[in-house]
Structure 1
Amino acid sequence: MPTMIRNAMSEREVRYKLGAVQFVSAETFGRPGRRTFRLVAEAGRAQSFIWLEKEQLLQLGLFLQQAVRQLGDSAQSRPSAPGEDSWIGDPLEQDFQARQMQLQYDQDANCFVIHAFEGEEDDPNAGAQTSVSFWMTMTQSSELADAALRICASGRPPCFLCGRPIDPEGHQCDRASSHAIFETG
């Protein structure tokens, strides 16, 4: 059985197993303070648009970056062989908000696997909701981590006192006197 790095979430059934992706990327739309975030995964004739909260994208980027570093140069120089071929079924397109995600590392394949679920695990309709999984090579995983972290860092700067984002129109900090307003720029 392959060694897996995974979170504490129990194993869930995935509706669409896309297999090995040819393309995976993180994207953002909108201006700081109003941005939306998503992953785009393309595998064979399937394409998934997985909308995320900024915190989800940040955590995914941080975890992938840390895992790739911990696995070291030997894993990065070893070839990746995804455990599933790319999607060969009918053309497929999903576009959904991920409520839960799971990330695994398959040591034998030297690949990461992302599972994204539209519903919560305890949702009675979870089986009818969209869920996808896809395999990423070590190189794709490292590039996705870099893109996710770059996107998250390009947003509003955090207030040095309270840590909350500073809006372009200004920020009234709870920790500063009630008359202090900080601005970006």
Structure 2
Amino acid sequence: MASVIHSFDPPERFVAGTVGPPGQRTFFLQARSGTRVTSVALEKQQVVVLAERIEELLDELLRSTGGETSIPAVSPVALEDNGPLEQPIVEEFRAGTMTLSWDTDDSRVVIEVFPFTEAAVVTPEQLGEELEEPEPDEILMVRLTAGAARAFVKRAAQVIDAGRPSCPFCGG
């Protein structure tokens, strides 16, 4: 069976967001183009790591080109998105493996999100074995401009911090 690929190249909107009160939040990645919306559930730590890796990728590209590139050093104000997730939220799948790359031909950050599967969990006894991973049923693929990727990182950090209580000593 062929995989269903939810492709957004580029999306009108790509954000991380949550549903629920702090401590009980469910995290989502959400991509939208026109009326087509794809929502993928994931763990908070996956949002943290994805945002960190995107920022590292863009910073390294900026550094390696000596600043002679169209990669902004910070999130462009015009691309910032603080709106709520699109409603209704229909979870397509729960995220497992994610890949991140840079397409030099189009100057795009490419994010691929694959569903979590039990087959992807490796036990200590299986470490030396050659395992065949099944073809995923669905994939979310998003291709972002560098500016949109910076805006995603900024919003992801805000979403993550929104669930943290203020420090009782300093208020921060």
TM-score (norm 1): 0.61
Q: Relative contact order (alpha carbons < 8 A, sep ≥ 6): 1 or 2 greater?
A: 2
Task: Out of 124-133 and 30-39, give the one that drifted further.
Answer: 124-133
- Report the counterpart of residue 127 of structure 1 in structure 2: 135
Alignment correspondent of 1:41: 31
**1:62 and 1:149 in contact (8 A); partners too:** no
SS at match of 1:150: helix
CA contact (8 A) 1:14 1:131 kept: yes
Task: Find the partner of 1:148 among 138, 143, 156.
Answer: 156
* Separation (CA, whole Å) in 2 of partners of 1:29 and 1:125: 31
| Distance apart, 1:103 and its partner CA | 1.0
Secondary structure of the residue that 1:16 maps to in structure 2? Answer: strand
1:116 corresponding residue in structure 2: 113
Which of 56, 80, 85 is the matching residue for 2:46?
56
Q: Is residue 14–residue 115 contact of structure 1 (8 Å, CA) maintained in 2?
A: no
Q: Does 1:76 align with 2:71?
A: yes
Alignment coverage as a number of residue pairs: 135
**Cα deviation 1:84-142 (Å, max 9, x = unaligned):** xxxxxxxxx86221111111111221111111111349458843522221211111101
Aligned with 2:146 (options 138, 163, 183): 138
Distance 2:105 2:136 in 1: 32
**Any conservation in 2 of the 1:119–1:126 contact (CA below 8 Å)?**
no
The residue that corresponds to 1:66 in the other structure is 56
Q: CA contact under 8 A between 2:3 and 2:137: conserved in structure 1?
A: no
Name the SS of the counterpart of 2:135 in structure 1. helix
Distance 1:128 1:107, change over 3 A: closer
CA RMSD in angstroms, aligned pairs only? 3.0
Q: Percent identity?
A: 25
Q: Assess, with a 3 A threshold, how the Cα gap between structure 1 residues 36 and 94 changes in structure 2: closer, same or farther.
A: closer
Alpha-carbon distance between aligned partners in 1 of 2:141 and 2:119, rounded to the nearest angstrom: 19
Runs (5+) with no aligned partner, structure 1: 1-12, 78-92, 160-181
Opposite residue 30 of structure 1, the aligned amino acid is G
1:153 match: secondary structure: helix
Tell me the secondary structure at the aligned position of residue 23 of structure 2. Answer: coil
TM-score with structure 2 length normalisation?
A: 0.66
In 1, Cα distance between equivalents of 2:151 and 2:137: 29
CA distance in 1, matches of 2:103, 2:142: 12
